[in-house]
Structure 1
Amino acid sequence: MLDIQSIRAEFPILSQKVNGKPLVYFDNAATSQKPKVVLEAIASYYEEINANIHRGVHKLSQLATDAYEASRGKIQRHINAAHSHEVLFTSGTTHGINLVANGFASLLKPGDEVMVSALEHHSNIVPWQMLCERTGAQLTVIPMNEKGELIMEGFDRLLSEKTKVIAVNHISNALGTINPIEEIIAKAHRFGTAVLIDGAQSAAHMKPDVQALDCDFYVFSGHKICGPTGTGILYGKEAWLNKLPPYQGGGEMIKEVTFEKTTYADLPHKFEAGTPNIAGGIVLGTAIDYLNSIGFEAIAAYENELLEYGTRRLLEIEGVKIYGTSEHKTSVISFNVEGIHPFDIGTIVDKLGIAVRTGHHCAQPIMRFFDIPGTIRASFAFYNTKEEIDALVEAVKKAKTMLS
């Protein structure tokens, strides 16, 4: 059992008021709030050990380097990577996906296929489209059904020896669907196909075990797991990372530079050009420690309670339709009220202090599938409460009355 009030007290932003009302923050799928321990760790870095890493013999540089690499080790253990050099620091999920897609440009040829799913965020569509445009490869799409689930029979029909890489999200940001990535990975590997998992939405709700999953790449963002913005992780199997060329050139990613030729550094530095977000990388480890201190099993169980409660309460409102009704989903509810634009609902509930996301959620193909302009998305975290869900329900009822 989680002590929710004690947890909420650790998040300073949750005590504020918006438009004169207590803040109800239901936009966690976009970014999570930060506990005091994370905020204090950011200040501590800049106040005590601010220095560049890997390049100095002075004390502060050594302290910063040790803290940065210790964070890499924490993340390695958290995701159960075989080696710390398989863990690359990035600026976020989008950066990680682009790094891998750029690398595959040297491995693909016309006639090859790249596969994504109908449930993807734009960040896991556009880089692969750009890759196909550069290489002449074809983009194929795993179809979805009305429940917001992938149609695995369609996946089986599409998968072939032509499929060189599959990029699919672990959890849909727009619908909350948990995809059967274990099945996708196992079937893909029968054809020697590489698989990248977009874990932007899953990392906040579960601990990925990359060795058990046997995925080739796994990416996620720090800002969605109580960490700083501008941080993220790309896990890649050593063999695959060694196949891919560097994404950027500059300092740190080199072994030797002459005007005639440059040789590249070993992993992970081959992909970490320039001065990184040092504070962010260190504090991402702090955020991981914080979530593990609460426990991901406890987090998942409580958030599932919120999902079930929120689903039941919202469906009590006449005219509400929920999009994404898979039995396997996380704490995201995307819904509309019949005859009312989602933006209008979102604007009114904001006046009542409630933060939800409205729009297409960077998933326009999903919205086209349902033939809607967008949805109202309420996404819950472990620091939310059922009382806050009640407040959302009353706000939606009020908005409906005003706009009908």
Structure 2
Amino acid sequence: MTLPSPWRADFPAFAAFENDGITYLDTAATAQKPQAVLDALQAYYAQGAANVHRAQHRPGERATQAFETARSKVATWLGAGSAQEIVFTRGTTEALNLLAYGLEAHFKPGDEIVISALEHHANLLPWQQLALRRGLKLVVLPLTPSGHVDLAIAAERIGPRTRLLAISQLSNVLGTWQPLAELSQMAHDQGAWVVVDGAQGVVHGRHRPQDLGADFYAFSGHKLYAPEAIGILWGRPEALTALSPWQFGGEMVKAADYHQSEFHAPPMGFEAGTPPVAAAIGLGAALDWLSAQDEASLFGHEQALCIKLWAGLAAREGVRVLGEPQIALASIVVNGVHVADLSHMLGEQGIAVRAGNHCAMPLFKQLGEAGSLRISLGIYSDSTDLERFFMALDNALELLR
């Protein structure tokens, strides 16, 4: 069955890919940008770039209005109660580091931070390093064979010493949605904060962090069809007030002299320095574009492509899919074939996929694998991309086996 993408023409990169003979199947790493985002970036720079909040001149006022409008668009997208719940960062990684440093004063030796075995390094290392700095215990929740957090064991390990649960919404390796409602309830029953890494999950459907049981929710624009160097930290108002500033400089200062300073309330108190103005405007444009699409059609197209991908992989002898993916991607290993060799052979045929440990080294150690080949889809992907991939995969395996 042919599955064309009605949105593909809105992404200029695919004309360039076609000219270069490239089949792009690496959207989980970064997404291509629709023309609407490119137009927004061009308009901002062409009309005159300016810093926000500080200048009284017309370009500064125009930039500030566009920047704060983008904040409001993010709040609407997430179903937030107020734009003041939205902190601009430079990506998911910075948002999670902000939390690890901003909450540090609330931890004491012996407290526990709980993560899962599938976390991306961005949602592992900040908590690992906080635990090392403060003498905390880092508790790791194991997975079921399908690639979900084991809830029975989680109920045993989330206990009275738990102060924070940090969990990914959707695994970037296994493609599995995690049981956030249940895990969040366990953590909140112990009075712990819940941090959700939404870098992958935010891309697939509209999600209200409050409905997930999150106190904090982080994601990056570049995976959501927006520019690089823009990220979002959403926080419940009460949770945001528990944070201390972690970076210091211009913009976030309310008053300062040589020996002491006073800082703005959230969100500005966590936005030191010149913010990513153009990227924020681009994110707002991406959300406008996505909001104009039919959500059921987007989801249906992605799901139909995923079923086609998974069926094609299952039909090939010796190809193993890690876990039981539910959306967007598949990570595979091939018996007797090194993932680097397979990636190289696919690359020579113009297939853009990702090989390696996908910033989840501990997970691969637990799985007993050196790495995997990840095929990931976007709303612009179509069945022709999969046909090209499978043809290239068959060619590569014929030579490598």
Of the three residues 375, 380, 390, the one matched with 2:377 is 380
| Structure 2: distance between partners of 1:264 and 1:295 | 42
| Structure 2: distance between partners of 1:5 and 1:360 | 29
* Offset of residue 16 of structure 1: 2.5
1:265 match? 264
Counterpart of 1:377, as a letter, is: R
1:366 match? 363
1:13 match? 13
Moved over 3 A (4+): 3-6
- Asked if 1 retains the 8 angstrom alpha-carbon contact of 2:170 and 2:177, the reply is yes
For residues 148-176 of structure 1, give each alpha carbon's deviation from its aligned partner in whole angstroms, at most 9, with x where no partner exists.
12111111000112100110000000110
Say whether 1:85 aligns with 2:84: yes
- Asked if 2 retains the 8 angstrom alpha-carbon contact of 1:117 and 1:168, the reply is yes
Higher deviation after alignment, 194-203 or 366-375: 366-375
| Structure 2: distance between partners of 1:300 and 1:371 | 33
- Asked if 1 retains the 8 angstrom alpha-carbon contact of 2:5 and 2:301, the reply is no
Total equivalences in the alignment: 400
Higher deviation after alignment, 211-220 or 4-13: 4-13
| Structure 1: distance between partners of 2:150 and 2:43 | 49
Look up the SS of the partner of 2:191 in the other structure. Answer: coil
* Offset of residue 213 of structure 1: 2.4
For residues 105-148 of structure 1, give each alpha carbon's deviation from its aligned partner in whole angstroms, at most 9, with x where no partner exists.
11100110001100100111110011011111110011012221
- Asked if 1 retains the 8 angstrom alpha-carbon contact of 2:5 and 2:379, the reply is no
Higher deviation after alignment, 286-295 or 23-32: 286-295
1:349 match? 346
- Asked if 2 retains the 8 angstrom alpha-carbon contact of 1:8 and 1:14, the reply is yes
Percent of aligned pairs sharing the same letter = 37
2:388 match? 391
Counterpart of 2:112, as a letter, is: E
- Asked if 2 retains the 8 angstrom alpha-carbon contact of 1:124 and 1:198, the reply is yes
Counterpart of 2:295, as a letter, is: F
- Asked if 2 retains the 8 angstrom alpha-carbon contact of 1:313 and 1:390, the reply is no
Look up the SS of the partner of 2:219 in the other structure. Answer: strand
* Offset of residue 5 of structure 1: 4.8
2:71 match? 72
Look up the SS of the partner of 1:106 in the other structure. Answer: helix
Counterpart of 2:102, as a letter, is: G
TM-score (norm 2): 0.97
- Asked if 1 retains the 8 angstrom alpha-carbon contact of 2:86 and 2:267, the reply is yes
Give runs of aligned pairs for residues 192-271 of structure 1, distance below 5 A: 192-271=191-270
Counterpart of 2:111, as a letter, is: D
* Offset of residue 50 of structure 1: 1.1
* Offset of residue 279 of structure 1: 0.5
1:30 match? 29
Give runs of aligned pairs for residues 275-294 of structure 1, distance below 5 A: 275-294=274-293
* Offset of residue 297 of structure 1: 3.0
2:320 match? 321
| Structure 1: distance between partners of 2:35 and 2:20 | 23
| Structure 2: distance between partners of 1:260 and 1:362 | 41
For residues 1-36 of structure 1, give each alpha carbon's deviation from its aligned partner in whole angstroms, at most 9, with x where no partner exists.
xx9454211111112247x76321110000000111
| Structure 2: distance between partners of 1:299 and 1:6 | 9
TM-score (norm 1): 0.96
| Structure 2: distance between partners of 1:165 and 1:189 | 9
Counterpart of 1:91, as a letter, is: R
| Structure 1: distance between partners of 2:365 and 2:37 | 39
Give runs of aligned pairs for residues 171-190 of structure 1, distance below 5 A: 171-190=170-189
Counterpart of 2:138, as a letter, is: L
Unmatched tracts of structure 1, length 5 or more: none
Higher deviation after alignment, 152-161 or 141-150: 141-150
| Structure 2: distance between partners of 1:161 and 1:370 | 30
- Asked if 1 retains the 8 angstrom alpha-carbon contact of 2:103 and 2:242, the reply is no
Unmatched tracts of structure 2, length 5 or more: none
Counterpart of 2:384, as a letter, is: E
| Structure 2: distance between partners of 1:297 and 1:75 | 20
| Structure 1: distance between partners of 2:130 and 2:330 | 33
CA gap of 1:52–1:17, structure 2 versus 1, over 3 A, is closer
| Structure 2: distance between partners of 1:393 and 1:290 | 31
Look up the SS of the partner of 1:203 in the other structure. Answer: helix
| Structure 2: distance between partners of 1:187 and 1:260 | 43
CA RMSD of aligned residues (A): 1.5
